[in-house]
C-alpha cells in the first residue's frame, strides 16, 4: 500500500504528467489507463476497456506506447485448445522517476540550446506565413519570404525568450522535488522491507 500511495504522489507531479503526456502523444486517456492498471495491480486489455468504457483498440494502442517507454509489462498465456493468447498487463513504474528525470534533462538541454540561439541572433519574420528566420537566413533570401515572396519584417523575440526561460525554470524547479531523489527500490514491494525504523503515520 505504501508503495502505491507513493506512486500516486509521483503521478500528481506536474513534470511527471508532462513527460507522461509526451510519451502518450498528448492522449490524456492514457493517464486513465495507467491509473486503472495501478488500481487493479494487473489486468487484461479487455478488463481495462470494460472498466473505463474505452474502445479496446484505444486501450491497446496506449498500452503499447507505455510498453515502449518501459512503464508497463505483460505476461502472455496461451488459451487451451484455441490458438489464442491472453495478455495480462501490469505497471512497472519503479523506474518512472528516473525516466522522467532523464527525459526532463533532455528537454532542458534542447530548451537551453534554443535559448542561446534566440539570445544570440536577430530575427525576421513573414507576417503572412508566420515563419521566423535568423538574420543571416533573411539576408540570404534578400529579406523576401521564400514561400510567398512577401517582405520580411523585423521580429521582436523577447516574448519567445521569456517563454523559454519560464519553461527552463519550471523544469529545473520541479526536478528539485524529492520524488526524483529517492532510491528507485522504494517503489517496489521488495524495497519496503529495507526500512527497520517505524515510519510515523500521517493522516491524509
Chain contacts with Zn ion (rule: CB under 5 A): 126, 128-129, 145, 147-148, 150
> Pick from 141, 134, 94, 139: which is nearest to 117 by CA?
134
Nearer to Zn ion among residue 33 and residue 138 (C-beta): 138
Comparison of 55 and 128: residue with beta carbon closer to Zn ion: 128
| Closest distance to Zn ion from the beta carbon of 118 (Å) | 21
> Of the two residues 63 and 152, which places its CB atom closer to Zn ion in the complex?
152
CA–CA dist 166, 40 (Å, integer) = 38
141 class by beta-carbon count within 10 Å (0-12 exposed, 13-18 middle, 19+ buried): middle
**Least distance (Å) between residue 134 CB and Zn ion:** 16
Which CB, 2 or 148, lies closer to Zn ion?
A: 148
Residue 105, judged by CB atoms within 10 A of its CB (0-12, 13-18, 19+), counts as exposed
Name the minimum Å distance from CB 157 to Zn ion: 18
**CA 72 – CA 62 distance, rounded (Å):** 10
User: From start to end of 18-161, where are the E strands?
Assistant: 43-44, 72-78, 85-91, 123-126, 131-134, 153-155
Give min distance, CB of 142 to Zn ion, in A.
Answer: 13
What distance in Å separates the CA atoms of residue 104 and residue 109, rounded to the nearest whole number?
9
Smallest gap from residue 146 Cβ to Zn ion (A): 8
In the bound state with Zn ion, the residue whose beta carbon lies nearer, of 43 and 138, is 138
Amino acid at each position: 500500500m505504501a508503495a502505491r500511495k507513493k506512486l500516486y504522489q509521483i503521478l500528481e507531479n506536474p513534470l511527471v504528467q508532462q513527460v507522461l503526456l509526451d510519451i502518450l502523444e498528448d492522449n490524456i486517456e492514457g493517464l486513465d489507463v495507467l491509473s486503472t492498471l495501478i488500481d487493479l495491480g494487473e489486468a487484461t486489455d479487455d478488463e481495462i476497456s470494460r472498466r473505463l468504457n474505452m474502445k479496446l483498440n484505444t486501450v491497446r494502442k496506449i498500452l503499447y506506447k507505455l510498453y515502449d517507454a518501459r512503464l508497463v509489462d505483460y505476461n502472455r498465456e496461451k488459451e487451451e485448445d484455441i490458438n489464442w493468447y491472453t495478455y495480462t498487463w501490469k505497471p512497472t513504474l519503479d523506474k518512472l522517476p528516473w525516466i522522467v528525470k532523464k527525459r526532463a534533462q533532455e528537454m532542458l538541454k534542447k530548451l537551453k540550446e534554443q535559448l542561446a540561439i534566440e539570445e544570440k541572433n536577430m530575427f525576421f519574420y513573414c507576417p503572412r506565413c508566420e515563419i521566423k528566420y535568423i538574420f543571416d537566413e533573411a539576408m540570404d533570401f534578400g529579406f523576401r519570404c521564400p514561400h510567398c515572396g512577401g517582405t520580411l519584417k523585423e521580429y521582436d523575440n523577447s516574448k519567445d525568450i521569456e517563454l523559454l526561460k519560464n519553461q527552463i525554470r519550471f523544469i529545473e524547479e520541479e526536478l528539485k522535488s524529492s520524488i526524483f531523489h529517492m532510491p528507485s527500490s522504494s517503489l517496489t514491494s521488495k524495497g519496503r522491507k529495507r526500512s527497520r525504523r517505524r515510519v510515523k503515520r500521517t493522516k491524509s
